């Protein structure tokens, strides 16, 4: 039996070995090639946005400002069998052939370096470890701090900085090995999790709920009408968010859509694809740290209602180092039993403070009265 607030963060240094070379030759017909040409004339270097500093920033903050109730464990590589539950044999063979190489994989944004395949294996295996920890009762909740991210990776294709679909690998493992009949995946990354959707499109036993900035924002998928197919029709739930949507819109979506969906589906395990690019520092949406904390609290409530509190988070995107690290810490504070902050409308608290500061001055005689 685990105590409430007993949280395991899974982290493995091997995920830092994924370091695509920004100066490697692009594939023919890449739009990025033209972008790089434009930037070269402006004297602005093109840098691969998904870099090891994302995780070192998180770990540095957690070392500087530790969260009581959080402990750390290492990860492990996923096996070929585990990866093969969501990716095709041909795709895995292609990825393994890239071990030790620097290469761009397609016309999208995805590249590998010499250490990338091992890093991706460890990322997927570490997501599995987080799911196992909560299913085995070793923790009340878990967070897999991993990279490269996974939710854009399709069964047959790397895409959007993603090589293996970490959360999908964990969900499939939970079904195959951990006795889970139904797994719910909630993805709050700013970008639609097209890969996760594709993998479970016709699976009635995995519910995929995705909140994302609406198309044409990358990757352009995730419309309301995309609801799954066959036996899986109805277990894909897309919630396209308007540009600039913030805490109020997200929490309304959680209460009005995510909670009823969970009540209908009754999951045995909840996995959260936790991207922190909805924060306003990443310029896509307008969620605050308090908003991430409040969403986490709702996920906890759902987990306690339906699956004995079993919820595991898997890191996805988030590219501004300050908002990424503080967003993760806000989530861990709530998972560890901390007080859930009340999100407000951005700026209102500061205006109220300013009004209080100036209020006494307005009670004094006005300029016209002084001169009378």
Residues pairing with 73 in the sheet? 10
Phi, psi at residue 294, to the nearest 5°?
Answer: -65, -40
- Active site members: 152
Q: Which token pair is 336?
A: 């560890």
Q: How far is 350 from 348, CA to CA, in rounded Å?
A: 5
Q: Which residue has the tokens 């799954």?
A: 228
Q: How far is 2 from 324, CA to CA, in rounded Å?
A: 28
The separation between the first and the last C-alpha atoms of the chain, rounded to the nearest angstrom, is 77
Orientation of helix 53-64 relative to helix 321-335, angle to 10° = 50
Contact 129, 79 (CB under 8 A): no
Nearest in space to 6 (alpha carbons), one of 357, 362, 310:
310
CA trace torsion 53, 318, 78, 15 (10° rounding)? 0
Nearest in space to 119 (alpha carbons), one of 153, 164, 70, 82:
164
């Amino acid at each position: 039996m685990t105590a409430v607030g007993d949280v395991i963060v899974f982290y493995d240094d091997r995920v830092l070995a994924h370091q695509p070379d920004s100066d490697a030759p692009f594939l023919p017909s890449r739009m990025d090639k033209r972008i790089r040409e434009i930037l070269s004339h402006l004297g602005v270097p093109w840098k691969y946005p998904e870099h090891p500093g994302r995780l070192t920033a998180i770990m540095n903050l957690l070392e500087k400002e530790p969260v009581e109730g959080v402990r750390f464990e290492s990860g492990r590589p996923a096996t070929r069998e585990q990866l093969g539950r969501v990716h095709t044999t041909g795709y895995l063979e292609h990825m393994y052939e890239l071990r030790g190489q620097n290469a761009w994989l397609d016309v999208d944004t995805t590249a590998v370096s010499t250490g990338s395949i091992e890093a991706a294996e460890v990322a997927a295996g570490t997501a599995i470890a987080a799911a196992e920890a909560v299913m085995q009762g070793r923790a009340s909740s878990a967070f897999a701090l991993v990279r490269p991210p996974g939710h854009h990776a399709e069964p047959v294709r790397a895409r959007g900085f993603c090589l293996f679909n970490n959360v999908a690998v964990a969900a499939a493992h939970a079904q195959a090995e951990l006795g889970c009949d139904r797994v719910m995946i909630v993805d709050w990354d700013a970008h639609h999790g097209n890969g996760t959707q594709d993998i479970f499109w016709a699976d009635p036993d995995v519910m995929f709920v995705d909140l994302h900035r609406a198309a044409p924002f990358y990757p352009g998928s995730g419309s309301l009408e995309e609801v799954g197919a066959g036996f899986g029709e109805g277990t894909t739930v897309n919630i396209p968010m308007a540009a600039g949507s913030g805490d109020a819109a997200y929490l309304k979506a959680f209460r009005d859509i995510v909670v009823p969906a969970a009540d209908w589906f009754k999951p045995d395990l909840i996995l959260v694809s936790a991207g922190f690019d909805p924060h306003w520092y990443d310029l896509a949406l307008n969620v605050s740290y308090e908003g991430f904390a409040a969403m986490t609290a709702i996920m906890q409530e759902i987990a306690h209602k339906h699956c004995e509190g079993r919820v595991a988070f898997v890191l996805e995107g988030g590219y501004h180092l300050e908002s990424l690290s503080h967003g993760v810490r806000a989530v861990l504070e709530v998972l560890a039993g901390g007080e859930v902050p009340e999100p407000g409308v951005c700026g209102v608290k500061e205006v109220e403070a300013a009004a209080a500061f100036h209020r006494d001055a307005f009670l004094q005689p006005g300029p016209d009265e002084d001169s009378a």
